[in-house]
Structure 1
Amino acid sequence: MRALFVGGVVDNSEMDLEGAQPPVHYPEDTGGGHARYRLHQVGKKDDGAVAYAVYGAPDLADEEVSRVADERAYARRFEATPEVFQH
């Protein structure tokens, strides 16, 4: 699965993630009390597998992360259905 980042210093970056489910925060545990990127959206394939996960910078509103993800057409690119992640 691909992790896609919106906002902050790694805006418009992506990387591969291991596992079947994306972590709620990235990085998962900094241990330093620093704000982390938060999971906002998960794109699922027809078979239910997670194709991508969209992470937003800590200072971005949910609506802005969704708008940017739509603008960048992640769902179309990965041929997946986007689902808002409920915290």
Structure 2
Amino acid sequence: MLRALFVGGVVDNSEMDLDGAQPPVHYPENGHTGRPRYKLHLVGRHDGEVVYAVYGAPDLADAEVARVAEERGYARRFQAEAVSAEP
């Protein structure tokens, strides 16, 4: 299980648990609006496992999501290394 953390949008600063070892690229995975509400920006790894995923609202730039994640101390909180979710 891993923790999903949200930056921006209507659920800013919210958290939830996700099942599985890898987070989906978009949250929710199968949104019916035709446009995903949140995009995966960062993952936090501890001992090779993904322990958290940071999702940002579609209108937020990668740099802004990374800044907020750093400010909120996600990597420190989960004792993990934050890395870009981009392949």
Please tell me the TM-score bracket, short chain as reference. over 0.9
Tell me the residue number matched to 1:83: 83
User: How many residues get paired?
Assistant: 86
Unaligned runs of 5+ residues in structure 1 are none
How many angstroms does 1:21 deviate by? 0.2
* RMSD of equivalent CA atoms: 1.0
Give the whole-Å Cα distance in 2 for the aligned partners of 1:9 and 1:20.
26
2:55 is the alignment partner of 1:58: no
TM-score by length of 1: 0.94
How many angstroms does 1:75 deviate by? 0.2
**Segment of structure 1 superposing worse, 29-38 or 12-21:** 29-38
**Where do 4+ consecutive residues of structure 1 move more than 4 Å?**
none
More strand, by proportion:
2
Instruction: Give secondary structure in 2 for the equivalent of 1:15.
Output: strand
TM-score by length of 2: 0.94
Tell me the residue number matched to 1:32: 33
Unaligned runs of 5+ residues in structure 2 are none
Tell me the residue number matched to 2:7: 6
Q: Which amino acid aligns with 1:16?
A: D
Q: Which amino acid aligns with 1:25?
A: H
